[in-house]
Amino acid sequence: MIPRTICGNVDVQQNSSDMEEVDKIIIHSLRQVGCDIEDEIESLQQFTTELVVEATVRCLRVIQPGLTLPVSLPSSMSARFRIGAEIAQVCSDLGYGGDVGYQTFLYSSVTDIRKVLIFLIEKLPKESEKVVEVPSGKAALLQQSLSDLLRKQFNTPWIPNYCKNKGIRWFKDGSWSREGYLHCHQFYSCPLVVPPVTTKKLEITEKSKDYYKMHTPYITEQIKNSNELVPSLIQLNANSLTLEQLHSEKDSSVLMKPWLPSLEKTSKLMSSKDEPLEPYARSLVGLSGKKPIPRPRPPPKPKHLTEETPSPPKSTEEVPADKEKTHDEEEKDSEKSIENLKQKMEDMKISFEDLRNEVKTLKVKASQAMEELREEEKPCQEVEERLALWRRTQEILPRPGSDGLAGEGVERLKSMADGSARRLLSLASAWDEHRTALLSEYRHLREHDTNRTSEAQRQAELLRSLREKTREVMEEVREKEQIRKQLTTEREKVNKDVGRSAYTRRIMEIIGNIRKQNEDIDKVLKDTKEVQKEINQLTGRLDRSFTVADELIFRIQTEEAKSVASNLERITADLRQMRQESAALAARLERKS
């Protein structure tokens, strides 16, 4: 809307400067979002189609972080139309109330783009709303990563196995994942014969050097399959590192015990025959002379248990020792054992309660996971629809070994391309008709609105003036009523024998007051005439302002009409490019057939 002010002339430069300030604010906000806008660009009129799409998509990505729309436009016109329609659909879902479609971004006008960008910038999250809840705990992190991976895989289309290099699937954000196990193999390693790496403790003889130099085959020749090369090298490196660690440590007998079988095999391969590694490894086992730590003796059984179970016959040497135990000591031992059992029971109860709580939490998490799985299964329908579309596309394309379907597929593609071109032209013409009708209706409604607003303002001013006049009249009536009461009291107080001169003097005073009132009335009338003259001048200025505003609106509409013509030219150029792409595709299909 153009601001209407009561002034002599409408300052068009002021409106253009306001729009420039708005454009600068929008460009600054887009740069903060991450758009690569050059410093020379200062207004939205300098935006290209690619820059408009990039700015819109980056704003949408900030509003909806999981959005997968591309930032740049592809070269294919059909893909451009599809991306423009998707962007328009996302804007509509966010609540944009204006008319938005693929033409808004591909054949845009400055006014429409300004409205869309202002709407998206207002939708951007504030600094206080950018707090992201980071899941805490390994289970929450694992669940979050699994949900992100499943969401990403559900949103990607299906691709056959022969279209993926070694089963690797690349995503738009640069990440990748391996799908299927056709290109995987098991980790098999074979022993490799190489010179020993550690030479501090091992001395290589001249015969061994000649053997390693002249007769040892290459590593690539020692393996049976190429898949065993990397596992064999990893195993060789691990063995060499283990040997170096064992040579560097002095007291390593405890570590050597579980590794002796594998180290014996490694020593046979990596050491020479003159000085094997087995004696050295065996010697390391005996370096530590520490005795094993004895286990603690179990507590004595309670008295009630010892009486029930028959005890084996004891020797004559143990009987005096048992008799030395008194009855009090046995009771103390039994009380200690009972206390230990009670403590164990309490610990088991606590652990049981913990397990019960953990089971409850796991049930809640399982229900939440099932709900998330149901929500994640919804995109499968879209994947099935895309799969049906691809199947229909494969039916159109020629199959290998059949020459008859190639011409039919080409004819179908040509008919589809011509139909899409005709549909685009019909949509463009229908849009022009619809736009002209909407513009005329918009002008009519705006004129009606302005007239109704001015009439309402006039009625409100009239009602306000009548209320003020009514208030003034009521005050005058109240004052005159007070004067009447005062005069009545004075008349009652005045003596009836007053002479004629007093009445004459009173009449002269009244006449003087009336003369003063007449002078005041003349002044008020003069002021009213001046105010009316100013009102007439302001009314003339307002009419001239409306005239200039209508001329400015007409000029804007003519510029928009010119932009419509340029958009039609761009549409025809895109249609020509689509026909060229269709012809190239048909020629490619003919060459393949």
Q: Looking at the structure, do residues 358 and 263 belong to the same domain, yes or no?
A: no
- Dihedral of alpha carbons 201, 203, 208, 212, sign: positive
pLDDT of residue 309: 39
Q: Is residue 317 part of a domain?
A: no
User: Is there a contact between 8 and 539 (Cβ–Cβ < 8 Å)?
Assistant: no
- 427 and 361 belong to one structural domain: no
- Show the tokens assigned to 247: 């040579």
Q: Are residues 474 and 548 in the same domain?
A: yes
- In the chain, the largest separation of any two C-alpha atoms, in whole Å, equals 168
Query: Among residues 129, 159, 191, which one ends one of the domains?
Result: 129
Residue 8 has pLDDT above 50, yes or no: no
Separation CA 166–CA 181 (nearest Å): 9
Q: pLDDT tens, 317-352?
A: 343 444 445 667 777 888 888 888 888 888 888 888
pLDDT of residue 302: 44
Place of tokens 């195993």: 235
- The per-residue pLDDT for 495 is 62
Give yes or no: residues 566 and 460 share one domain: yes
Q: What is the pLDDT of residue 479?
A: 92
- 200 falls within a domain: no
Residues 236 and 338 in one domain: no
Q: Do 253 and 122 reside in the same domain of the chain?
A: no
**Rounded-to-10 torsion of CA 424, 429, 434, 437:** 170
Residue from 153, 155, 154, 180 nearest 165 by CA: 180
Tokens standing for 584? 């190239």
Predicted confidence at residue 384, as pLDDT, reads: 82
Do residues 475 and 467 touch, judged by C-beta distance below 8 A? no
Q: Which amino acid, one-letter code, is at 464?
A: R
Q: Quickly state the pLDDT bin for 69 (edges 50, 70, 90).
A: confident
The Cβ-side half-sphere exposure at 407, using a 13 Å CA radius, reads 2
Under a CB-based contact definition with an 8 Å cutoff, are residues 334 and 307 in contact?
no
The DSSP call for residue 289 is -
Query: 192 or 282: which carries more pLDDT confidence?
Result: 192
With contact defined as beta carbons under 8 Å apart, do 43 and 26 qualify?
no
For the cut 50, the answer to whether the pLDDT of residue 140 exceeds it is yes
pLDDT in the model for residue 514: 92
In a domain, 253, yes or no: yes
pLDDT, position 310 = 40
14-22: long-range contacts at Cβ-Cβ below 8 A with a sequence spacing of 24 or more?
A: 15/552, 19/43, 19/114, 22/114, 22/118
Asked if residue 116 belongs to a domain, the reply is: yes
Which pLDDT score is estimated for 517?
Answer: 92
pLDDT in tens, 28-58: 888 888 888 888 888 888 888 888 898 899 8
Please report, for residues 9, 61, 91, 208, the alpha-carbon distance to residue 547 in angstroms, rounded to integers and kept in the order given. 10, 45, 37, 107
Distant-in-sequence, close-in-space partners of 278: CB < 8 Å, separation ≥ 6: 264, 267
Contact between residue 51 and residue 73 where contact means Cβ atoms under 8 Å apart: no
DSSP state of 539: H
Q: Is residue 219 part of a domain?
A: yes
What domain range includes position 99? 13-129
Encode pLDDT of 223-260 as tens digits: 888 888 888 999 889 888 887 777 665 444 444 445 55
Structural domain includes residue 164: no
Q: 154-163, 392-401, 418-427, 520-529: which has the minimum mean pLDDT?
A: 392-401
Confidence of residue 519 (pLDDT cuts 50, 70, 90): very high
- Whether residue 3 is contained in a domain is answered as no
Query: What are the pLDDT digits (tens) for 284-303?
Result: 333 333 333 343 444 444 44
Tell me if 431 sits within 8 A of 571, measured CB to CB.
no
Q: Are residues 544 and 416 in the same domain?
A: yes
Residue 3: its pLDDT value, please? 34
DSSP string, 449-476: HHHHHHHHHHHHHHHHHHHHHHHHHHHH
Residue range 579-585: average pLDDT?
86
φ/ψ region of 295 (left if φ > 0, alpha if ψ in -120 to 50, else beta) reads beta
Of 110, 129, 148, the last residue of a domain is: 129
Residues 411 and 540 in one domain: yes
**Cβ-based neighbours of 356, under 8 Å, separated by 6 or more:** none
Determine which of 67-76, 171-180, 256-265, 334-343 has the lowest per-residue pLDDT on average.
256-265
On whether residue 157 sits in a domain, the answer given is no
In the prediction, which pLDDT does 275 show? 41
Residues 6+ positions from 413 with CB-CB distance below 8 Å:
396, 582, 585, 586, 589
User: What is the pLDDT at residue 40?
Assistant: 86
Give the whole-number percent of the chain exceeding pLDDT 90: 5
For 517, the enclosing helix (H) or strand (E) is helix 500-592
Residue recorded with tokens 């995987």:
184
Report the 10 Å Cβ neighbour count for 107: 22
Cβ–Cβ under 8 Å, residues 125 and 63: yes
End position of a domain, from candidates 252, 285, 318: 285
Residue 17: its pLDDT value, please?
65
Instruction: Read off the pLDDT band of 395 (50, 70, 90).
Output: low
φ, ψ of residue 191 in degrees (nearest 5): -70, 135
Question: Pick the residue with more confidence: 61 or 295?
Answer: 61
Clarify whether residues 436 and 545 are in a common domain: yes
Cα separation of 80 and 73, whole Å? 6
Could you report the per-residue pLDDT of 404-418, keeping only the tens digit for each? Answer: 445 666 777 788 788
The confidence score (pLDDT) of residue 387 equals: 84
246 vs 187, residue with greater confidence? 187
71 has pLDDT over 60: yes
Q: Residue 539: its pLDDT value, please?
A: 87
369 and 459 together in one domain: no
CA distances from 586 to 78, 132, 402, 417 (A): 16, 51, 16, 11
pLDDT, one tens digit per residue, over 345-389 is 888 888 888 888 888 888 888 888 888 887 887 788 788 888 888
Pairwise CA distance, residues 511 & 514, whole Å? 5
Burial class (CB in 10 A: 0-12, 13-18, 19+), 218: exposed
- What does the pLDDT read at residue 43? 86
Residue-averaged pLDDT of the chain? 76
Q: What are the φ and ψ backbone dihedral angles of 171, each rounded to 5 degrees?
A: -105, 170
User: Given a cut of 60, is residue 131 above it in pLDDT?
Assistant: no
Global pTM value = 0.28
Write out pLDDT tens, residues 445-473.
888 888 888 888 888 888 888 889 988 99
What's the total number of domains in the chain? Answer: 4
- Residue 172 makes CB contacts below 8 A (sequence gap 6+) with 68, 70
One domain for residues 552 and 471 = yes
Same domain, 416 and 541: yes
C-alpha distances (whole Å) from 128 to each of 66, 124, 182 are: 20, 12, 49
Q: CA-CA distance, 83 to 74, in Å (whole number)?
A: 9
Q: Which amino acid is at 58?
A: R
For residue 170, the cross-strand partners are 176
